[in-house]
Amino acid sequence: MAHGYLNHFLDNRKVKVYSAGIETHGLNPGAVSIIKEDGIDISNHTSNHVDDYKDINFDYIITVCDHANENCPYIPSKNAKRLHHNFFDPSKVKGTESEIHTAFLKARNEIKNYMREFISKNNLND
């Protein structure tokens, strides 16, 4: 979802967004569905491993969960600013369809607000 919001908010800017994890699980259907409610289609995104991008010199590296922050391999980007935020993980929620939707909505809004603030704080909206 973070990748989707960054692409959406940074539309028409010269910014390349990459997304990867320390494990690959494919796209979560709940994440695809909840972000689509905001008019953003991430269904073509892929689940990539962080090692796929080891040769890219990033400006920013954002980890989105404590597990990734604690276990993410070193990424050799010379000047990358490293940021971390442990977002609520809706995939762990069990319950009714409504409860699961509410969990994904909570995560979506948390991620959307963080990405807006990230863009603003780093003057990427020019």
Mean pLDDT by groups of 10 residues along the chain of 126 residues: 94 83 86 96 90 88 81 73 91 94 97 95 82
| Buried b or exposed e, range 53-65, using 16+ CB within 10 angstroms | eeeeebebbbbbb
Q: How many domains does the chain contain in total?
A: 1
8's tokens: 């959406």
Query: What is the reported pLDDT for 12?
Result: 66
Here the CATH number for the domain that contains residue 36 is 3.40.50.2300
Is 17 within a domain? yes
Predicted pLDDT of residue 9? 94
The residue segments making up the domain with residue 26 are 2-121
Output DSSP code: residue 62.
E
Q: Establish if 126 belongs to a structural domain.
A: no
Structure tokens at 82: 């490293």
CA gap 63, 84 in Å, rounded: 5
pLDDT of residue 80: 87
Cα 47 to its chain centre, rounded Å, is: 11
